[in-house]
Chain A
Amino acid sequence: MPLDQEESYDIQTVLAKMRDEYWHGLAEQETGAEEIMDCLVFMLGGERHAFETRHACEVIRVPRLVKVPAVQDLIKGVFNLRGEITAAMDVRPLLGLPQPELGPAGRIIVVKSEHFATGILAEAALGVQGLPLEQFEPSHPGSSLDRRRLVRGHFNTDDGATILLDLEALLTSPEIMVGAD
């Protein structure tokens, strides 16, 4: 039965093609998953900084900050985040960065640690970007101790370097806690 023969022959090729496509697709997926890290990118001390999106809660315009007496300089004040009193911190001195004035592009990045939500002041927020891990370089041992503690390394992207912060280390730093136990 010629028709049957032809059909079975066809099925073989179709199957082989499908198999090829399947393997190809799989390979693509794997390389894709390895290459990109989704990060929130923002400006601190005139440089691009980032941390993984899972730490970020939201980005808001800088509201009126109420100054808190007798606390460290890092705490710039508190603001009302939907009924919760939340601190706004300027972490730039901790990272050894300059502190240019915050203009209209200034934002507060609200992040959540295990125990509290807090705000990080940034000169601008540049949004979520997928950063290629291929271009990642860990901190070199020559940088200062404080920096090495809080910075994991940087990405060499086309438009310059993006520094990857260790947000967990930052949020558990004693420097950001107010008052003794």
Chain B
Amino acid sequence: MGKRYIEIFCREAEEHLASLQSGLLVLEKHPTRMSLLHELLRNAHTLKGSARMVGLSDISAITHTMEEQLKGMEQGNRPVDAPAIDLLLKGTDAVALITSALSKGEPPPLDVEAFVADYERGEVGRSLASVEPQEVIPDQLSETVRANVKSLDALVNLIGEMIINKKRLEAKLTRLRGIEREVEGTAADLLVPFRRDLEEDILYLDYLIAELHQKAMELRMFPLKSICDGFERMVRDLAQAQGKEVRLETVGANIEMDRVLLEGLKPMLIHLLTNAVCHGIEPPDQRESKGKSRQGSVRITARHEGSSVVVEVRDDGKGMDPVRIKAAAVARGLIDQRDAEAMRDEEALYLTLRPGFSTAEVVTDVAGRGVGMDVVKKNVERIKGNLTMTSQVGSHTEISLQLPLSLSVLDALIVASGGETFAIPINYVQEILRVGEDEITPLGGSEVIKVRGTTTPVYSLSDVLELPRRQLLPGARLTALVLKLCDQRIAFTVDAHLGNSEVVVKGLGKQFRNVTFLFGATILGDGNPALILNVPDLYSAVAEQTRPGLQKSWEVKVQQRVLVVDDSITTRTMEQSILTANGYLVETAVCGEDALEKAAVRDFDLVISDVEMPGINGFQLTRQLRATDRHRETPVIIVSSLSRDEDKRQAMEAGAQAYIVKGSFDQGMLLETVQMLIG
């Protein structure tokens, strides 16, 4: 956690501690003043929330016990007398001690666990008095060293440059072989052994670079289990909240993946597990009546498959019913009745991935973060993965994510199209065919070919990319690549396929903010760039049946405006700086009323709100925003330290789209949720 946030927190804590202390002394004299008691409760609560936000578990533990005591007083279960006030004051003393140590960068001066235990017994004198400086144990020399992630990334990039350079050497070798054929006499006699020596050297270099690359990649690899820590607890809690019995199993937790990919995978797994528990597994009685064990099972399986990792989430619940899915899709206007009838059952499952399919479920989604399956799909695509679904009604659902091992180097098929060279990630390529003119048949406004008996739509890659089309001689055959994305096969014709190659992925630079059709670029052996195609974009371009170039727009998108509502300055500042750093315009409001005032005069694309605030709470704020024309549709994220399902349900009922618990709050989570909702 950044030092800056700690500083902000310390300043905020000072204010709350001061008002707690003075308020407590007044309360001692006027024990029946409920409004004051409530004010103190809010102070303690905010302090707890902010402490959690910056990861200060000690302070949040102490303030939690204080909050519990104040709640007890409010409900009349605990006395409001001198010893009680004394205890509370000791609590504020302890928090003050820790904050002052924090601002000096020293370790906490008291044993918090003992303090909290003593506090709960009502006798804190002992642990607060025994403040002893702890002996600092010097770091032992160990087998590992700490490395900066940036240095690691730089290392991997440099090795990428070496791979490209080696490719250029190989290209030179090919040229040398050509020269060899032209040269005669003694020169040729000298050239041949020289070329052979060079070949050997380059081969050796190739081995070295390959090994170096692998070692460097390993440095960035982490096991899957590093992100699975909270899953068991989460599944257990979710199941309990729903009155279900669920067992989570993880197979292959030791499989390692690139750090960047793991970060992307975690929220997807959380979502899939939540879906499995909430929508997949049936209540115990229902399961029993169907002859299943009362306890449902959810299994995460990870395994290597070629150069990718496959992660599956399987539950033995009620399965997905294609008939009901089709009906829901028709009801929501995603497809019409005719489409529904023509659709295969396996295809119907993928309807749940369409945006708009799951949003309708959001409000009733008991435990979800309010984000639909379409987002999982988008995230899988972002990390160049592939998502497949299988299900049997009454038996199981299995979602399988095929992910690359790394994003910095990928296996690609190199093709020529429209006068350019492109790289296509190999995990999408099913097969390469040669098709004649007569094999292409028109069907419903587009063209299809038969691939192993299956009708497959076919498009010209250069047309989709709006590049010039090559004129073919009569009788010439076209090369067609059959690509697969989410179980859907589409063929794209290209001018030629130039073989497989391991390519180093490079960004296009900051001038390119995001480019349709492209995932990045690489540099080929001849030194020229080749663009790496983003297959999901090709699919959406042909699905929309419009010329893709028409959708391009280079007008600058207006910056998205976010309203952050929180009575804690720590939370406000933290959320604001996360969002501002990522290009959002942020305004802040200190309470619900303030937020309503600001929202009345300006359009916001998103509202992020705390629950407990002076005045109206976050749920009321959400409801009131929903009642205005201006913000009827504006997404609302509730960020709160309340993690009970009841609160989440309330948030959803009020019309919020997502619910983030401060305890589990981290920068990535907030940003991800924001991006999911408003992009």
Contacts and interface: CB of A to CB of B under 8 A. Distances in A.
B513 A180 contact: yes
A177 B509 contact: no
Contacts of B515: 68, 70-71, 178-179
A139 interface: no
Given A68-B531, A85-B529, A78 B521 contact: yes
The SS class assigned to the B binding surface is loop
A61 interface: no
A135 interface: no
A78 B529 CA distance: 7
B508 interface: yes
Nearest to B537: A70
A175 B419 contact: no
B554 A177 contact: yes
B333 to A, nearest CB: 27
B419 to A, nearest CB: 7
A83 interface: yes
Nearest to A178: B512
Contact of A67 (B420, B507, B553): B420
Interface stretch (A4-12, A35-43, A113-121): A113-121
A167 B341 CA distance: 59
Nearest to B506: A85
Interface in A64-79: 64, 66-72, 78-79
A89 to B, nearest CB: 9
Contacts of A85: 506-509, 521, 523, 529
A100 to B, nearest CB: 22
Count chain A CB atoms within 10 A of each CB in B508, B521, B523 and give the residue with the most: B508
B528 A179 contact: no
A144 to B, nearest CB: 19
B556 A174 contact: yes
A34 interface: no
Contact of A83 (B164, B418, B514): B164
A68 B506 CA distance: 15
Contacts of B466: 69-70
B554 A67 contact: no
B583 A70 contact: no
Interface in B349-396: none
A176 interface: yes
B521 A69 contact: no
Interface string B510-549: 1111111110010100011111000000000000000011
Interface in B430-472: 465-467
Contacts of A80: 523, 527-529
A67 B514 CA distance: 16
A177 B164 contact: no
A69 B557 contact: no
B508 A78 contact: yes
A70 B419 contact: no
A87 interface: yes
Nearest to A66: B529
B463 to A, nearest CB: 11
Contacts of B511: 87, 115-116, 118, 176-178
B93 interface: no
Contacts of A68: 512, 515, 518, 531
Interface string B149-193: 000000000000100100000000000000000000000000000
29 contacts: A66-B528, A67-B419, A68-B512, A69-B516, A69-B518, A70-B466, A70-B515, A70-B517, A70-B548, A71-B515, A78-B508, A78-B529, A78-B531, A79-B529, A80-B523, A84-B509, A85-B529, A115-B510, A115-B511, A116-B511, A175-B554, A177-B513, A177-B554, A177-B556, A178-B508, A178-B512, A179-B512, A181-B513, A181-B583
Interface of B: 161, 164, 418-421, 465-467, 506-518, 521, 523, 527-531, 548-549, 551-557, 559, 583
Given A66-B529, A174-B556, A178-B515, 8 more contacts: A69-B516, A69-B548, A70-B516, A78-B521, A83-B164, A83-B523, A85-B506, A181-B557
